Amino acid sequence: MSGRALADELGISLRTLYRDIASLQAQGADIAGEPGIGYVLRPGFTLPPLMFSEEEIEALVLGSRWVADRGDARLGAAARDALAKIAAVLPSGLRDVLDGSSLLVGPGNVRIGSAVDLASVRWAIRAERRVAVSYRDGTGRVSQRVIWPFALGFFDNVRIVLGWCELRSDFRHFRADRIDAVSVLEDRYPRRRLALMKAWREREGLAGRKDADGN
């Protein structure tokens, strides 16, 4: 990636980027390249633990508590584990901020349960796999679909699987509580997940907005 592209994405000057890259290289980061050519970070390098401000810690605690309370069992456990790992590397003063956070997740609307394990859907999204589902519409009519799932929406009382439906040849939103069965297929879908997300955003008029991944 070019230095200019990195600097623009990080919101810093090119001179600051060059200085920071040199600092990382001095710390042992396996970054190939040089100013005027571009940079490549080779896989396998782990940066030292980052420190957080008090507000960043509060945001992490609040977000983790929301996921632990509103996510499925595996996602909730992952949120609690992640928070424990963060606590383990914080200095004592900041650990006190984390342990003593008074930001709480209040009760929401009663969440409609799902008959399928959403962990398998999340895996299919990450792996860009086609998925066969048995789906009930609002009238109770059941249809068999093959979809290309690319996102999972977490609303207060319902979860929505966003995907390209091969039956309809179009984007569709599937309520998780109406999916009676799900089977992850062996083959990947032919488009990249980020490309599907971009096309869906343009379709929905959300092209100017970004999610937590910056997409």
Distances (CA, A) of 101 to 86, 108, 162: 14, 20, 34
* pLDDT band per the 50, 70, 90 thresholds, residue 8: confident
- Report the alpha-carbon distance of residue 21 to residue 23 in Å, rounded: 5
**What pLDDT does 9 receive?**
83
Residue of 170, 173, 155 lying closest to 111 (CA atoms): 155
Report pLDDT digits (tens) over 157-197.
Answer: 889 999 999 999 999 999 999 999 999 999 999 999 999 99
In this structure, the answer to whether residues 92 and 134 fall within a common structural domain is no
- Report the alpha-carbon distance of residue 201 to residue 162 in Å, rounded: 11
- Report the alpha-carbon distance of residue 133 to residue 178 in Å, rounded: 10
Report pLDDT digits (tens) over 122-158.
Answer: 999 999 999 999 999 989 999 999 999 999 998 888 8
Number of domains in the chain: 3
In this structure, the answer to whether residues 140 and 192 fall within a common structural domain is yes
Residue of 173, 129, 138 lying closest to 152 (CA atoms): 173
* pLDDT band per the 50, 70, 90 thresholds, residue 6: confident
In a domain, 200, yes or no: yes
Structural domain including 144 reads 118-204
- What pTM value is reported for the model? 0.67
Report pLDDT digits (tens) over 27-67.
Answer: 777 888 877 888 887 776 555 556 788 898 899 999 999 99
Residue of 176, 144, 148 lying closest to 75 (CA atoms): 176
In this structure, the answer to whether residues 90 and 129 fall within a common structural domain is no
In a domain, 61, yes or no: yes
In a domain, 18, yes or no: yes
In this structure, the answer to whether residues 133 and 93 fall within a common structural domain is no
**What pLDDT does 211 receive?**
53
In this structure, the answer to whether residues 151 and 199 fall within a common structural domain is yes
In a domain, 36, yes or no: yes
- Report the alpha-carbon distance of residue 102 to residue 100 in Å, rounded: 6
In this structure, the answer to whether residues 76 and 31 fall within a common structural domain is no
In a domain, 157, yes or no: yes
